[in-house]
Each structure stands twice: as C-alpha cells, then as structure tokens.
Amino acid sequence: MRYYRIHTADNAYRTGQPRGIFTTVGKLVDSKTLTEDEEKEYWKNREYFEKVLPVPPFYEKDNPEGAITWFKDNEEGNNIWEQMTFYRAMCSKYGVKLYSSECYEVPGEIIYEDEFQIAVKNRSSTVKIDTRELEY
C-alpha cells in the first residue's frame, strides 16, 4: 500500500520530523496570521475534521513517542485529503511551501491505525520515501 503525508520543510520539536499540514495551519492561527474570518473558518474546519477523522489517542498525552501520521492511499484517506481545501488555501495564501512524502512500505513502527491513516514512530532508514514540493 502507498502511504503519504503532507508537510512543510521545517521539523516539529516533538517529533523531529517535518511538521504536518494540520499543525502548520494551527501555527498560523497561534501566530495571529489569519484574518478573523479565516480563524473562524479554521475552527469550523478543525471541529469537522476532529469529528470525521479519528484523532490518535497518543495526542491526548502530548505524543510522548514522537509519532507522525501518514494517510493511506485508499478511498477514506484520499477523501479526507481532498476535503482539506481550507488548509491548502491558507498555506498557499500565506506562502507556506508544502511537500508530499510517499512510500510503499510502512515507514516505521506502527503505534496506531484506522481506516484513514497510520501513525508510526522510529522511522525506518531502509524504507524509500520520495518527497516532492506540492503544487497548488
């Protein structure tokens, strides 16, 4: 199966891995970069995605193992990605370069899985991961 994640070039403090798109747009909110209307839209989107996309339980403990999530290349994972238009629009508007990384093997030790995604820790150095800049 193909797995993919959308991220920036900068590494997250907790994971040491490139920061994912959800966290990236959350940081735009935290820094007061978004307009008031955009911030309202962010909270509507966040509520929606937290309802339809399971939040891995390790986030309740502040992700102590430094796991990162990868979408599954299946109907569920791809549908969620397609719905993330607001997140892509905010990154585009505010000049945040996004990258797509993909692989065809599990890229580490799975600590969580659902129909949309996997979460892995201890990234494998032997799994080939292709990364490219995402076109808007």
CA separation for the pair 88, 82 (Å, rounded): 10
Q: How much is the pLDDT for 96?
A: 97
pLDDT band at residue 20 using 50, 70 and 90 as cut-offs: very high
The DSSP bridge pattern shows strands 117-121 and 3-11 to be unpaired
pTM here? 0.91
CA separation for the pair 76, 55 (Å, rounded): 15
- pLDDT of residue 36 exceeding 90, the answer is yes
Q: How much is the pLDDT for 39?
A: 98
Domain that holds residue 105: 3-133
- Average pLDDT across the chain, whole number: 95
Look up residue 134 and give its DSSP letter.
P
Total of domains in the chain: 1
Q: How much is the pLDDT for 14?
A: 85
